[in-house]
């Protein structure tokens, strides 16, 4: 298996073991989804009750993925993953036992599925964040591609297997299969000897970690572009997943088996895309690849909506599967390599939030449009919108092709030690002396320094010019606590941050002068 092969990450023992275990778990999850929806119908639930089965999974993820992403950055990610998988195992096992005993009710069904949603919210950000720990940096795009193939093939196989298990032994068989599938993932995680995290200052508080993660995302334009491109693709692309069942039963005249063939075609297309994408990516770069794959996906979606022939729809689904995996794996890999280890899980939680939120909003919008225009129109409109949006985004929101170095580094001397714990905000001032002929270059460099300070923990930032001596600039920024400022020095600064600040230093006429000011007194209350 060559180093340039799409399957190269599978040479890594832990990645391979986890990938195979996750594949079985993905199949089990989709088999259980079918079983839960079927069981809800057996229990007398109507269309709304059946729809609540999916909502019970997605709502906990949507509500909890951001704080759980912060947990993944302050607690050993292996332990977080084990806890998340254990919650999902408990939910699946409880469903299997209750259903087999005849004790399942709509309320218990939804409650146990919601418990599994909590486990998924806990596990997903940390699972994304550990990928750079399992494969070399150069293989991250292919690892993301393989993980996408894993999910899509599981989506294709799982519902069919779930249907067979229900027919043979009832919904409890699907739940039991899903329960067993989690043991493989837990075994791999249990045997993985993950190196300890380097946290000189100990773990952060969860609320602080959440705020810091949000500030990092706001101050990282390159990562925000990934989020923006993701939501634009997913909102329009979700039309296919939302309307494919209606297309299969309506214009294509297919039954459940035919719908399974369409889903299977998407999975086969994803596998084919895994062979093609690495080669195309090397030749074109990620921006051109995403543009081409998005247009191909839009064409496939329009064809699936307009045709009445399954013979035409199946090849369209092959193209859709390859294109879907090409776009999302490229976006996911880009997100992973842009993030330093200290914030990777909490920032990637926003990627998951955007992905799930985009799918939910898109499904509702295109479903409503389908009721108004019919399913054919509801497939053509988002396909046309997707082409228009990607044409604009390719120019307005290009992804960086540069390789950023997110390894820890620091250009500053360690801040002075305090005799006791300092409370309240810290004001840091940095005096720069810059020749007037280099002022414009310096201001441009300091805009990047501003983002670097904010990414690592600064809450307010400003740059002021001395009226008495125009060559003197005073940079000021505040940090919530002295502990947070220490984290800037010891844990959060990266080689890329150092490079940004070095540009500003090279433009200065003298080394900058730094002062640290502590909160002196709180103002007395009025009266």
Q: CB atoms < 10 A from the CB of 215, how many?
A: 17
Mean pLDDT of 61-86: 94
pLDDT of 361 over the 90 cut = no
Mean pLDDT of the chain: 89
pLDDT on residue 417: 72
Residue range 466-480: average pLDDT? 96
- Start-to-end CA distance of the chain, whole Å, equals 77
Kindly indicate the confidence band of residue 1, based on its pLDDT and cuts at 50, 70 and 90. Answer: very low
DSSP alpha helices (H): ranges in 170-220? 171-191, 206-218
Beta-carbon count within 10 A of 26 CB: 20
What's the CA gap between 482 and 478, in Å, rounded?
Answer: 10
Kindly tell me if the per-residue pLDDT of 306 is higher than 70.
yes
Contact by Cβ (8 Å): 189, 81: yes
- Whether 206-403 and 426-518 share one fold: the answer is no
pLDDT in tens, 229-284: 999 999 999 888 888 878 887 888 887 678 778 878 888 898 888 888 888 888 89
The pLDDT assigned to 321 comes to 92
What percent of the chain stands above pLDDT 70? 94
pLDDT of residue 437: 94
Domain boundaries, the chain: 1-138+154-203, 206-403, 426-518
Q: 180-225: per-residue pLDDT in tens?
A: 999 999 999 999 998 887 777 788 889 999 999 999 999 999 999 9
Which stretches within 250-309 are classed as H helix? 256-284, 286-306
Looking at mean pLDDT, say which of 34-48, 232-246, 318-332, 371-385 comes out highest.
318-332
Secondary-structure class of domain 206-403 per CATH: mainly alpha
How many C-beta atoms lie closer than 10 Å to residue 93's C-beta?
17
| pLDDT at site 422 | 63
Q: What is the mean pLDDT of residues 409-418?
A: 73
Tell me 432's DSSP state. E
CATH 1.20.1250.20 fits 1-138+154-203, yes or no: yes
At 450, the pLDDT band (50, 70, 90 cuts) reads: very high
Residues 174, 34: Cα–Cα separation, whole Å = 8
Provide the pLDDT for residue 419: 55
CATH number of this structure's domain 426-518: 3.30.70.100
What is the pTM (predicted TM-score) of this model?
0.87
């Amino acid at each position: 298996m060559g180093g340039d092969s799409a399957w190269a990450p599978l040479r890594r023992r832990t990645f391979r073991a986890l990938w195979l275990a996750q594949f079985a778990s993905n199949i089990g999850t989709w088999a259980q989804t079918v079983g839960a929806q079927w069981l809800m119908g057996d229990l007398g639930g109507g269309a709304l009750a059946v729809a609540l089965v999916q909502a019970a999974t997605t709502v906990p993820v949507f509500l909890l993925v951001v704080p759980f992403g912060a947990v993944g950055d302050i607690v050993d990610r292996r332990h977080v993953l084990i806890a998340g998988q254990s919650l999902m195992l408990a939910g699946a096992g409880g469903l299997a036992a209750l259903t087999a005993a005849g004790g399942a009710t709509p309320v218990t069904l939804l409650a146990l599925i919601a418990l599994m949603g909590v486990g998924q919210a806990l596990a997903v950000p940390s699972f994304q964040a550990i990928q750079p720990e399992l494969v070399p940096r150069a293989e991250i795009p292919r690892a993301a591609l393989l993980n996408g193939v894993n999910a899509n093939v599981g989506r294709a196989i799982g519902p069919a297997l779930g249907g067979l298990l229900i027919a043979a032994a009832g919904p409890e068989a699907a739940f039991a299969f899903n329960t067993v599938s989690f043991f493989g993932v837990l075994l791999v995680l249990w045997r993985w000897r993950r190196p300890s995290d380097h946290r000189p200052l100990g773990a952060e508080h969860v609320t602080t970690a959440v705020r810091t993660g949000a500030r990092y995302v706001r101050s990282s334009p390159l990562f925000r572009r990934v989020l923006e491109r993701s939501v634009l693709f997913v909102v329009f692309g979700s039309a296919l997943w939302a309307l494919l069942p209606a297309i299969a039963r309506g214009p294509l005249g297919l039954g459940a088996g035919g719908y399974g063939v369409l889903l299977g075609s998407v999975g086969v297309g994803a596998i084919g895309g895994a062979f093609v994408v690495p080669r195309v990516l090397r030749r074109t770069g990620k921006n051109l690849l995403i543009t081409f794959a998005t247009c191909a996906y839009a064409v496939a979606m329009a064809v699936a909506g307009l045709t009445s022939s399954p013979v035409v729809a199946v090849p369209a689904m092959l193209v859709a599967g390859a294109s879907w995996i090409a776009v999302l794996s490229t976006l996911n890999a880009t997100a992973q390599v842009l993030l330093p280890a200290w914030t990777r899980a909490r920032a990637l939680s926003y990627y998951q939030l955007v992905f799930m939120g985009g799918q939910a909003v898109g499904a509702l919008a295109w479903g409503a449009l389908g009721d108004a225009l019919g399913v054919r129109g509801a497939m053509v409109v988002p396909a046309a919108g997707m082409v228009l949006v990607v044409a604009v985004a390719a120019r307005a929101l290009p992804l960086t092709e540069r390789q950023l170095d997110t390894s820890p580094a620091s250009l500053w001397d360690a801040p002075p030690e305090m005799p006791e714990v300092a409370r309240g905000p810290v004001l840091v001032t940095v005096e720069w002396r810059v020749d007037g002929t280099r002022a414009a270059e310096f201001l441009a460099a300091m805009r990047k320094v501003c983002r670097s300070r904010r990414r690592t923990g600064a809450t307010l930032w400003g740059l002021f010019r001395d009226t008495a001596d125009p060559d003197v600039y005073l940079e000021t920024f505040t940090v919530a606590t002295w502990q947070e400022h220490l984290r800037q020095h010891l844990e959060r600064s990266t080689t890329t941050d150092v490079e940004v600040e070095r540009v500003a230093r090279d433009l200065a006429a003298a080394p900058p002068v730094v002062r640290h000011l502590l909160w002196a007194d709180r103002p007395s209350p009025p009266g």
